Amino acid sequence: MKILAIGDIFGKTGRQVIKKHLPELKEKYQIDLVVANVENATHGKGISKKHYEELENCGINVMTSGNHIFHLEKTQKEIDKFSRLIRPLNSNPYHPGKGSILTKVKGKKVRVTNLLGTTFMPGAPENPYWALEKIINLQDCDIHLVDFHAETTAEKIALALYFDGKISVL
């Protein structure tokens, strides 16, 4: 299975790059699943319904986010309508939307989970270790990809070391 993970798609330029190159990349490399961070796709902060649909039409299968996901108030009201978009699992538990998604690709169950780091991150997210442990305990997937949206390299390395062997990709 071939999975393409794309970092932060930023604004109009980022969307244009995706629109121009993603279909060609998917075909050339026979990509089976595309996961992309889209939290800054609309003018550098947030994602609108229009831009969500634009990226979906380009072939992105799962869209992850971060601390800017609800920059546009309308996104918070409509996120449940965006079936491919997930918010950080460990963000405010009263936020709408889901923080992890399970999909089937080539006969394999693939889980994509989105997490926020805690260092220099506003909004006091829940401990990402606890949040991810709950999902891992479900034991419901063959492949588990985690988009860890964090500010410090040390926090990313620590999470990677702790979950080494428990998740497939960070």
Lookup: tokens for 120: 């220099």
Q: What is the CATH number of the domain that holds 84?
A: 3.60.21.10
Residue 167 included in any domain: no
Q: Whole-angstrom distance between the N-terminal and C-terminal Cα of the chain?
A: 17
Residue 51 included in any domain: yes
The answer to whether the beta carbons of residues 7 and 40 sit under 8 Å apart is no
Residue 117 included in any domain: yes
pLDDT tens string 58-79: 999 999 999 999 999 999 999 9
- Residues with catalytic annotation? 68
Residue 16 included in any domain: yes
pLDDT tens string 17-37: 999 999 999 999 999 999 999
pLDDT tens string 131-151: 999 999 999 999 999 999 999
Q: Which residues constitute the domain of residue 155?
A: 3-162
Query: Which pLDDT score is estimated for 123?
Result: 79
Residue 169 included in any domain: no
Residue 84 included in any domain: yes
Residue 86 included in any domain: yes
Max CA distance (Å), the chain? 42
In the chain, the number of structural domains is 1
The answer to whether the beta carbons of residues 1 and 32 sit under 8 Å apart is yes
Which residues on adjacent β-strands are paired with residue 169?
A: 145
Residue 54 included in any domain: yes
pLDDT tens string 106-132: 999 999 999 999 999 887 789 999 999
- Burial class from Cβ neighbours inside 10 Å (0-12, 13-18, 19+) for residue 76 reads middle
Q: Which amino acid is at 38?
A: V
Q: Which amino acid is at 23?
A: P
The answer to whether the beta carbons of residues 115 and 90 sit under 8 Å apart is yes
